[in-house]
């Protein structure tokens, strides 16, 4: 056999988000733990059967998670912080979800682990907490259990685990010392785990080490070599595949190629050039797994070009040393294009979701093993789709090209510097010291979701639908006024998602019906597909902002999503540079800003939570990205007049190394997630004097627990040590869409009380 068909991982949510439904039913007390486990087992089983039907040689197991795979690994190796170690007996599932979401455990209130983005994706992982002298122990058997579940239905799988070095370096160290000091102790537990996997009957194990795709120091490379030497010695009968993804390995490639392992997976989509180097330098005993179909985007693979490349590689490597797979886990894709029969035929022919990626991998493997004639029809069909997409007029709009040609650097600058704008905005808005606001969205109630669903199905006429939204807004405004917020929002009841909503409004975008992708836990998003030139056919948010402002004397924020976030949280066309698409979106948002301003909206928020995740993993590529990303935001927002206050929001990321670029946004106010880290994220503002206003979040919106006023006073006081009080805002970490009103009402009341308590200490004065 020339090549093997393989996969690294698959979406966990089920074709109709069965995992989401089961999780939320369990959290609401409407389903038992056994119900949840049974639903999860069925989702896993169907995924394994799908791989087996297509003839895959290496099928992943253990990649499934009830919430997050990094959290799974922390629990597996016993890295459970002390606050989750209740005095009495605690159910393991309750502890697991307390670590993920916070809440009550063993009768005491506990905060969740910190959350941040998984490399340069929109997936969020829970950050393990480790301490000096951390003790590890094999505390669970998840990879073994799922391997055995697959075997019980007749499917042989390859267990997947997160590697020890990546686990340590992705974790937070509490106290003194370095996480790498813990490597010997952790590898002892990994050796025990590998022995259990081998004893269960597995012949291969996949060990994900995505840290190899980052810029590493020499000590990190030595850690990889040492760790795999130890694991190889401890598991001589088990074949090890180390998987890397999201970028090329660059200077880490020699280290990876010479680890004592049996196979190495490379992302040949993110960095095709590394393949030739790897083929030339790989030891004769090392197999290469090549990720040649895109696990991050939805465009159909050019099978002819890919097969041609693989034929060259296979001749160089020889038999039994080549595996064909996706660039990374297919977790980041919608599940199945077959669920989208309403997508127009030509557009549909250009696309491939996770299930179609499996078909492409199986087809390429068959072409290598059985010859081109065995897949002649597949090659012809894929080639026709590639040709159709390149020539289609729906992808190219001359009016958008003309608009881009009008771009000048002057469009990326506000009329006056912040110091002048600040005075104009203070006079117009009249806000108190420590002004309070929210990030934008308010709870999406079952009633609002049902109303929107009926409208989409044509079961509710437009007037009834809009009357329902206005009633929600009226109640939201009344609540915000009663609780004492200073800058209000309309709550976004008309929006399913902050990017999907704009994808539905913009030309050049397709929004699917079932194209869900997991963001974290039960949270799923439906990324738009940007297939052509982007433009705005008309106002997108103005009517709702104007209606809300008519219901209150307090300022109401116009809520927009920024061009970089729309780009990053969509499946973006790959036939032109990303910065060109970002500029197209920026012009559309710029027009919306102008319309909001003309309609009398005094505060406009242009959210860019995805700035960090667009950052290339290698430092050498970052300068160019940050230059065009900042330019896109400024193009979108800088048309605003001095007296219009421009906000932006960023969340769940590290900002220290990009703080200068964030400052270059020149937004009047930036809000960001800060509560889970207890303001540690503000260390970026210690060494860099941020010139404008900042709203560090003082309560965690991803947890059902309601923080007390005193807790928020402590966080606000900590923020005041870094941010001058005259430039400090008070707000939650992020939007409140996923929370219930029963949680939001007391939490916001406590937040306003915290701001008032601190104002009282300082003396109430205007900015």
* Average pLDDT score over residue span 31-37: 97
Residue 411 DSSP one-character state = G
**Within 10 Å of residue 524's Cβ, how many Cβ atoms?**
18
CA distance 228 to 207: 10
Phi, then psi, of 61 in degrees rounded to 5: -135, 155
pLDDT range class, residue 687, cuts 50, 70, 90: confident
Are residues 351 and 449 part of one domain? no
* Average pLDDT score over residue span 43-50: 98
H or E segment at 204? strand 204-208
pLDDT in tens, 732-754: 988 889 899 999 999 999 999 99
CA distance 52 to 54: 5
* Average pLDDT score over residue span 658-683: 84
Are residues 492 and 354 part of one domain? no
Q: Which long-range contacts does 139-142 make (Cβ < 8 Å, 24+ apart)? A: 139/75, 139/76, 139/77, 139/78, 139/80, 140/72, 140/75, 140/76, 140/92, 141/196, 142/62, 142/72, 142/76
Contact 184, 190 (CB under 8 A): no
Is 453's pLDDT higher than 90? no
Higher pLDDT among residues 456 and 230, named by residue: 230
Work out whether the CA dihedral 624, 625, 626, 630 comes out positive or negative.
positive
What is the model's pLDDT at position 88?
66
- Asked whether residue 529 is domain-assigned, the answer is no
What is the model's pLDDT at position 652?
58
Residue 476 DSSP one-character state = H
Of 523, 612, 522, 493, residue with least CA distance to 562 = 612
Give me the chain's average pLDDT, please. 94
Interacting residues of 345 by C-beta distance below 8 A, sequence separation 6+: none
- 79 burial class (0-12, 13-18, 19+ CB within 10 angstroms)? buried
User: Which residue(s) pair with 110 in the sheet?
Assistant: 103
CA distance 638 to 433: 26
* Average pLDDT score over residue span 359-382: 97
What is the model's pLDDT at position 358?
98
Phi, then psi, of 669 in degrees rounded to 5: -140, 135
CA distance 93 to 72: 11
pLDDT range class, residue 766, cuts 50, 70, 90: very low
CA distance 333 to 297: 7
Is 156's pLDDT higher than 80? yes
Q: Parallel, antiparallel, or unpaired for β 172-174 and 239-243?
A: unpaired
* Average pLDDT score over residue span 150-171: 98
N-term to C-term CA, the chain: 73
* Average pLDDT score over residue span 653-682: 82
Are residues 326 and 467 part of one domain? no
- Asked whether residue 594 is domain-assigned, the answer is yes
| Placement of tokens 């990546």 in the chain | 166
Are residues 484 and 381 part of one domain? no
Is 764's pLDDT higher than 80? no
CA distance 281 to 286: 10
**Within 10 Å of residue 575's Cβ, how many Cβ atoms?**
14
Is 704's pLDDT higher than 90? no
Are residues 466 and 357 part of one domain? no
What is the model's pLDDT at position 767?
38
CA distance 697 to 350: 41
Are residues 428 and 351 part of one domain? no
What is the model's pLDDT at position 11?
98
CA distance 298 to 499: 17
Question: What is the Cα gyration radius of the chain?
Answer: 26
Of 640, 641, 633, 635, residue with least CA distance to 658 = 633
Are residues 369 and 486 part of one domain? no
pLDDT in tens, 495-545: 988 999 999 999 999 999 999 999 999 999 999 999 999 999 999 999 999
Angle between helices 69-76 and 142-152 (to 10 degrees): 110
Percent of the chain with pLDDT over 70: 98
Q: Of 148-152, 176-180, 387-391, 627-631, which range is least confident?
A: 176-180
How many domains are there within the chain? 2
pLDDT in tens, 276-295: 999 999 999 999 999 999 99
Is 560's pLDDT higher than 90? yes
CA distance 709 to 271: 50
What is the model's pLDDT at position 456?
86
Residue 203 DSSP one-character state = S
Is 679's pLDDT higher than 80? no
Are residues 565 and 487 part of one domain? yes
Contact 616, 247 (CB under 8 A): yes
Higher pLDDT among residues 104 and 651, named by residue: 104
Is 678's pLDDT higher than 80? no
- Asked whether residue 26 is domain-assigned, the answer is yes
pLDDT range class, residue 672, cuts 50, 70, 90: confident
- Asked whether residue 401 is domain-assigned, the answer is no
* Average pLDDT score over residue span 69-77: 98
- Asked whether residue 96 is domain-assigned, the answer is no
CA distance 212 to 266: 10
Residue 179 DSSP one-character state = G
CA distance 289 to 209: 14
What is the model's pLDDT at position 29?
95
- Alpha-carbon separation of residue 119 from 22, 174, 316, 323 (angstroms): 28, 21, 32, 24
Are residues 284 and 428 part of one domain? no
Instruction: Please identify every residue annotated as catalytic.
Output: 702
- 441 burial class (0-12, 13-18, 19+ CB within 10 angstroms)? buried
pLDDT in tens, 83-131: 998 756 788 999 999 999 998 888 888 989 999 899 999 999 999 999 9
Phi, then psi, of 447 in degrees rounded to 5: -65, -40
* Average pLDDT score over residue span 15-36: 96
Of 268, 265, 263, 267, residue with least CA distance to 283 = 263
Are residues 218 and 287 part of one domain? yes
Of 255, 243, 236, residue with least CA distance to 163 = 243
Are residues 448 and 387 part of one domain? no
Q: Hey, what are 597's tokens? A: 């301003």
Q: Of 204-213, 308-317, 602-611, 679-688, which range is least confident?
A: 679-688
What is the model's pLDDT at position 765?
47
Are residues 362 and 477 part of one domain? no
| Sequential DSSP letters for 552-615 | -SS-BEEEEE-HHHHHHTSEE-SSS-HHHHHHHHHHHHHHHHHHHHHTT--EEEEE-TTTGGGS
H or E segment at 264? strand 263-267
Interacting residues of 585 by C-beta distance below 8 A, sequence separation 6+: 506, 534, 563, 566, 567, 632, 636
- Alpha-carbon separation of residue 118 from 159, 432, 447, 617, 697 (angstroms): 21, 38, 33, 11, 21
CA distance 644 to 600: 9
- CATH number for the domain including 185? 3.20.20.210
What is the model's pLDDT at position 701?
80
Given 347, 377, 393, the domain boundary residue is 393
Interacting residues of 694 by C-beta distance below 8 A, sequence separation 6+: 669, 670, 671, 672, 685, 719, 723, 727, 728, 729
- Asked whether residue 525 is domain-assigned, the answer is no
CA distance 106 to 88: 7
* Average pLDDT score over residue span 562-578: 97
Structural domain boundaries enclosing 11: 3-80+114-393
* Average pLDDT score over residue span 178-194: 96
What is the model's pLDDT at position 431?
97
Q: Parallel, antiparallel, or unpaired for β 507-510 and 529-535?
A: antiparallel
* Average pLDDT score over residue span 196-215: 98
* Average pLDDT score over residue span 172-189: 93
Of 639, 635, 533, 510, residue with least CA distance to 580 = 533
Percent of the chain with pLDDT over 90: 85
Phi, then psi, of 651 in degrees rounded to 5: -150, 155
Q: Hey, what are 231's tokens? A: 């694991």
Contact 489, 649 (CB under 8 A): no
User: Which residue(s) pair with 557 in the sheet?
Assistant: 603
Q: Hey, what are 169's tokens? A: 């370096």
Contact 560, 593 (CB under 8 A): yes
* Average pLDDT score over residue span 431-459: 92
Residue 697 DSSP one-character state = B
- Asked whether residue 265 is domain-assigned, the answer is yes
- Asked whether residue 106 is domain-assigned, the answer is no
* Average pLDDT score over residue span 211-234: 97
Higher pLDDT among residues 682 and 575, named by residue: 575
Contact 449, 472 (CB under 8 A): no
Given 344, 376, 393, the domain boundary residue is 393
Given 393, 414, 444, the domain boundary residue is 393
């Amino acid at each position: 056999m020339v090549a093997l068909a393989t996969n690294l991982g698959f979406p966990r949510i089920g074709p109709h988000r069965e995992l989401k439904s089961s999780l939320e039913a369990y959290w609401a007390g409407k389903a038992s733990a056994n119900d949840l486990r049974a639903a999860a087992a069925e989702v896993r089983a169907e995924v394994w059967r799908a791989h087996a039907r297509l003839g895959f040689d290496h099928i992943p197991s253990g990649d499934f998670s009830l919430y997050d795979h990094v959290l799974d690994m922390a629990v597996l190796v016993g890295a459970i912080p002390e606050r989750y170690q209740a005095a009495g007996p605690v159910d393991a599932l309750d502890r697991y979800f307390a670590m993920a979401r916070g809440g009550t455990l063993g009768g005491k209130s506990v905060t969740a682990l910190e959350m941040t983005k998984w490399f340069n994706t929109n997936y969020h992982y829970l950050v393990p907490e480790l301490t000096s002298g951390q003790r590890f122990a094999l505390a669970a058997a998840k990879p073994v259990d799922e391997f055995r579940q697959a075997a019980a239905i007749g499917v042989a799988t390859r267990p997947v685990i997160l590697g020890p070095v990546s686990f340590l370096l992705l974790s937070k160290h509490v106290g003194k010392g370095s996480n790498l000091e813990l490597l010997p102790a952790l590898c002892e537990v990994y050796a025990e785990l590998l022995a259990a996997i081998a004893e269960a009957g597995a012949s291969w194990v996949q060990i994900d080490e995505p840290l190899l795709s980052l810029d590493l120091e020499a000590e990190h490379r030595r850690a990889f070599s040492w760790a795999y030497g130890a694991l190889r010695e401890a598991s001589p009968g088990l074949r090890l595949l180390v998987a890397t993804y999201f970028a090329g390995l660059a200077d880490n490639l020699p280290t990876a190629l010479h680890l004592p392992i049996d196979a190495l997976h490379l992302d040949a989509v993110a960095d095709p050039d590394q393949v030739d180097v790897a083929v030339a330098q790989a030891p004769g005993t090392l197999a290469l797994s090549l990720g040649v179909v895109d696990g991050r985007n939805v465009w159909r693979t050019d099978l002819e070009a890919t097969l041609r490349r693989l034929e060259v590689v296979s001749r160089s490597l020889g038999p039994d040393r080549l595996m064909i797979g996706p660039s990374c886990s297919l977790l980041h894709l919608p599940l199945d294009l077959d669920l989208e029969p309403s997508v127009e035929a030509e557009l549909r022919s250009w696309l491939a979701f996770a299930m179609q990626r499996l078909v492409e991998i199986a087809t390429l493997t068959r072409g290598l093993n059985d010859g081109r004639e065995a897949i002649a029809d597949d090659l012809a069909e894929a080639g026709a789709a590639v040709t159709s997409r390149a020539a289609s007029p729906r992808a190219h709009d001359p009016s958008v090209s003309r608009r881009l040609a009008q771009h000048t650097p002057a469009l990326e600058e506000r009329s006056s510097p912040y110091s002048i704008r600040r005075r104009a905005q203070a006079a117009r808005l009249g806000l108190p010291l420590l002004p309070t606001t929210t990030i934008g969205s308010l709870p999406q109630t079952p009633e609002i979701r049902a109303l929107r669903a009926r409208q989409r199905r044509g079961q509710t006429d437009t007037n009834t639908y809009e009357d329902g939204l206005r009633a929600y807004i009226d109640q939201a405004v009344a609540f915000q006024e009663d609780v004492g917020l200073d800058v209000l929002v309309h709550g976004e009841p008309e929006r399913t998602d902050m990017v999907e909503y704009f994808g539905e409004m913009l030309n050049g975008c397709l929004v699917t019906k079932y194209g869900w992708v997991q963001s974290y836990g039960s949270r799923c998003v439906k990324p738009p597909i940007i297939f052509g030139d982007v433009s705005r056919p008309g106002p997108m948010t103005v009517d709702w902002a104007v209606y809300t402002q008519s219901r209150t004397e307090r300022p109401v924020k116009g809520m927009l999503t920024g061009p970089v976030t729309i780009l990053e949280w969509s499946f973006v066309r790959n036939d032109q540079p990303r910065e060109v698409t970002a500029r197209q979106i920026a012009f559309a948002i710029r027009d919306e800003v102008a319309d909001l301003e003309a309609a009398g909206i005094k505060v406009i928020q242009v959210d860019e939570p995805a700035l960090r995740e667009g950052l290339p993993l290698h430092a050498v590529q970052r300068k160019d990205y940050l230059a065009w990303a900042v330019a896109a935001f400024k193009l979108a927002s800088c048309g605003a007049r001095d007296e219009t206050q421009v906000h932006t929001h960023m969340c769940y990321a590290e900002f220290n190394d990009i703080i200068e670029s964030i400052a270059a946004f020149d937004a009047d106010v930036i809000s960001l997630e800060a509560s889970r880290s207890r303001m540690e994220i503000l260390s970026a503002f210690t060494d860099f004097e941020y010139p404008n206003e900042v709203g560090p979040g003082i309560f965690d919106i991803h947890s059902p627990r309601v923080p007390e006023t005193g807790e928020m006073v402590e966080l606000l006081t900590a923020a005041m040590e870094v941010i001058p009080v005259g430039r400090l805002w008070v707000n939650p970490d992020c939007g409140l869409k996923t929370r219930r009103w029963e949680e939001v009402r007391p939490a916001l009341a406590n937040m306003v009380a915290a701001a008032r308590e601190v104002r009282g200490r300082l003396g109430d004065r205007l900015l």
